[in-house]
Amino acid sequence: MVLSDRDIRKQIELGRIIIDPYDESAVQPASIDLRLGAQLRVFQSHRVQVIDVRQELPQLTELVVIDELNPFILHPGEFALAMTTEEIHLPDDIVGRLDGKSSLGRLGLVVHSTAGFVDPGWQGRLTLELSNLANLPIALYSGMKVSQL
């Protein structure tokens, strides 16, 4: 069952679902909008020849900090990791599904490749796996509505 906006508001009111910070206007008919956080992890492909999943590769990514005025430019084919601004707490009997905003999807922005399922009982900020499928760069600003749960 998918929760309606009324059910989402009721679960938040009861304290069973926690969205922090919470903005009532972010509640949509069957989801809640989530915003892009200020920190991204950008892959530095020039530092390694191959991603060996059996090895630690601390030099593989670089931390980039953005804000509402200075965006991160995600180039075509580029991949970056980010977090939601909001911290999410789900009860043990509700799962979440993370998806992108359709308006951004139509521009080529994908917010997850595999991590779209949010387990019951999850607490924390959600990881966004950002990819640009378009043939033009996309400017990403901290605080912009980029996904929905």
Residues marked as catalytic = 129
Question: How many Cβ atoms are within 10 Å of 51's Cβ, its own excluded?
Answer: 10
End-to-end CA distance of the chain: 14
> What 3-state DSSP class applies to 136?
coil
User: How is residue 53 written in tokens?
Assistant: 């999943």
Q: Environment class of residue 149 by beta-carbon count within 10 Å: exposed (0-12), middle (13-18) or buried (19+)?
A: buried
Residue type, 147: S
